[in-house]
Amino acid sequence: MKKLFTVLLISFGFLFTTQAQEPTETLLLTGETSPELITYYDFVEWAIDEGKMADWYVDFGTQEYAIWTDNPEMEGINPTEKALFMETIAGPDWWGNFFNFRLETPISITEENRYLHIFHYRENLNNGWSFSLNNDTPLEDPDQGTLRFDGNNSLPGRWEDIVIDLGYLMDNEIALEKFMVIVDKDWDGPRDNPPTKYYFDEIALTNDPFPRGVEFLTGTDLLSFDSEDQLAELIIDTQNELNTFEVIENPFTDSEVISDGMVGHFYKSETASWWQGLNVSFPGIHLIEYEVKQYLHVYVRAEIDCFIQLHIVDNTDTHYTEMFYYPGSEIDGEWFDLVWDLSSYTAVKAMTVRFDVQVDENGDYINGTPAGDFWVDGIVLDDNPYEREGTVNVDDLVNAQPTLRAWSGNQTIKFSQADASYAQVFDILGRSIVSTPLATGSDLHTLNVPQNGLYILRVTNTSGVVSNVKVLVNR
């Protein structure tokens, strides 16, 4: 839990910036005013010259792949008459599919114009978009969240307001000169997305961190599978065509935590990438409120011991993740409450539960892990920093397993267990750090780790019984 002083600063600062400031707006591109501050809006020149656009997009003239046309949906959040339009004729590769927006004159970024707003409409969602700041081509992964922002609209055939936080430019006194978007970021797919119409409009700089027309959601229940009305308002995506999800009657009627009602059943296919889990988009945003809506709780259940990653998207399409360990063998596969303190963030507009996340010895996420069944229930955002009543956490399990005692030294883990035969150590990302057989005849063992930090120690005894302990190595 964060210190009270730090959290109060975050909370009060948030209230000041979102409620006390008068709204400001600088329009960059509308298609209905002259002159426009954005003077170049087209695909990057070299991709046009190489003929890539001719293969992928409708040509409305002589190498004219983007035009102003009638707004496809004037009854929603964008009632203007015209919008910038482009249309694919085939599934494009992502490389070269770079649409550029360039300002005539660079603009210095302050708190008064920190947020870049872009109305965007997609006939088909396909693989989503990726924006990069001050570059003609996409930036690399290390720039995500500062100069690169990946995401997708929540629904096809509807205007949505993309909000990009320019805080990195502001903090480093870098003016905004331009930005680019990969219209369809089909990184690794077969490039067979259907022909699709894309629109952009009403690009502006403002001091408002929230999407135009957004609904602020009330209550602490983010997802209850017992509420048909709530489920009808959510967009649930399995992110892989062979992953499946269904709402079922709770099959675990003998559970001491949740024994009745409806729960979510998620099947993860062996073809799934590591990030493809149960994705939920909300019909608006849930604001993080200190001591009111601060802690995200998610009930999970699995048939294996595994790492589970929670992922959220905030109001500016910035992505955050937190890794958890599910100790199934220690709790007999019982329901387990994941608790994440979100006090450092502003809002939640979407989230994903990623099951059985594995990492190789190089720290790279592993795609195509074995298929498995997982269950989820009771997603709430409330003021409770502890696991909900009836559930246990890994710390509780340390006390529940008196035969496995662990402590730490500087870059070492020491533990004692009778008849221990094999030991494994994982970091909080699920990476295997140590995997070694143990010498018989001694109950005391020492393992070296590369650096201080939080680890999971897993010990198997000669009878095949597995015990897990969370160990903080900090001295």
The CATH number assigned to the domain holding 433 equals: 2.60.40.3080
Taking the CB of residue 131, how many other CB atoms lie within 10 A of it? 23
Contact (Cβ atoms closer than 8 angstroms) between residue 266 and residue 245? yes
Domain count, the chain: 3
Helix segments in 142-241, DSSP class H? 167-171, 228-233
Residue 290 and residue 200 share a domain: no
| Same domain assignment for residues 230 and 298 | yes
Instruction: Check whether residue 185 and residue 231 sit in a common domain.
Output: no
- Among the candidates 382, 417, 444, a domain finishes at 382
- If residue 397 lies in a helix (H) or strand (E), which one and from where to where? helix 394-400
**Does residue 5 belong to any structural domain of this protein?**
no
Give the per-residue pLDDT at 84: 98
Q: By CB neighbour count within 10 A (0-12 exposed, 13-18 middle, 19+ buried), where does 128 fall?
A: middle
Q: Indicate whether 272 and 412 sit together in one domain.
A: no
Question: Cα angle at 68 between 67 and 72, to 5 degrees?
Answer: 115
pLDDT value for 21? 64
Report yes or no on 389 lying in a domain. Answer: no
Residue 83, domain member (yes or no): yes
Cβ–Cβ contacts within 10 Å for residue 256, how many?
11
Q: Residue 254, Cβ neighbours under 10 Å: how many? A: 6
413 touches 425 (CB < 8 A): yes
Read off the CATH number of the domain in which 97 is found.
2.60.120.430
Question: What is the per-residue pLDDT for 283?
Answer: 93
Same domain for 149 and 79? yes
Report which DSSP code applies to 215. P
Q: Which residues contact 405 (CB under 8 A, 6 or more apart)?
A: 415, 416, 417
Spatial separation of the C-alpha atoms in residues 180 and 146, rounded to whole Å: 14
Residues 151, 234 within the same domain: no
Amino acid 13: pLDDT = 36
Which secondary structure element, helix H or strand E, spans residue 99, and what is its range? strand 98-107
Q: Taking the complete model, does pTM exceed 0.85, yes or no?
A: no
375 shares a domain with 312: yes
Could you tell me if 344 and 452 lie in one domain? no
CA distance 272 to 369: 8
Q: What letter represents residue 158's amino acid?
A: R
Q: How far is CA 241 from the centre of its chain?
A: 19
Residue 65: φ, ψ to 5° = -110, 0
Distances from the Cα of 219 to the Cαs of 15, 224, 313, 337, 345, in angstroms? Answer: 19, 12, 19, 19, 18
Structural tokens at position 192:
């067979």
Residue 213 lies in a domain: no
Query: Please, what's the b/e burial string for 205-226 (b: 16 or more CB within 10 A of its CB; e: otherwise)?
Result: bbbbbbbbebeebeeeebbbbe
Structural domain ending residue among the three candidates 327, 357, 382 = 382
Q: Which residues pair with 164 in a beta bridge?
A: 116
Q: Per-residue pLDDT tens, the chain, 475 aa: give them.
A: 222 222 222 333 333 334 446 889 999 999 998 899 999 999 999 999 999 999 999 999 989 999 999 999 999 999 999 999 999 998 899 999 999 999 999 999 999 999 999 999 999 999 999 999 999 999 999 999 999 999 999 899 999 999 999 999 999 999 999 999 999 998 877 888 999 999 999 999 999 999 999 999 999 999 999 999 999 999 999 999 999 999 999 999 999 999 999 999 999 999 999 999 999 999 999 999 988 999 999 999 999 999 899 999 999 888 999 888 898 888 899 999 999 999 989 999 999 999 999 877 667 889 999 999 999 999 999 999 888 877 765 445 444 443 577 877 778 888 888 788 889 898 877 778 898 988 877 778 889 988 888 888 888 888 777 787 878 786 5
Q: How many CA atoms lie within 13 A of 29 on its CB side?
A: 24
Q: Does the residue 9 lie in any domain?
A: no
**Spatial CA neighbour of 54 closest among 100, 96, 102:** 96
Q: Do 372 and 428 have their domain in common?
A: no
Asked which of 382, 410, 442 is the last residue of a domain, the reply is: 382
Cis peptide before 35 (omega within 30 of 0): yes
CATH of the domain at 225: 2.60.120.260
Is 19 within the bounds of a domain? no
Q: Single out the residue of 351, 27, 348, 353 nearest to residue 202, CA to CA.
A: 27
Domain assignment present for 312: yes
In a shared domain, residues 76 and 167: yes
Residue 274 shares a structural domain with residue 138: no
Torsion of CA 473, 366, 357, 402, to 10 degrees: -40
The boundaries of the domain holding residue 458 are 394-473
Q: Specify burial of residue 294 (Cβ count, 10 A radius: 0-12, 13-18, 19+).
A: buried
Is 14 domain-assigned? Answer: no
What is the model's pLDDT at position 324?
86
Instruction: Say if residue 404 is in the same domain as residue 314.
Output: no
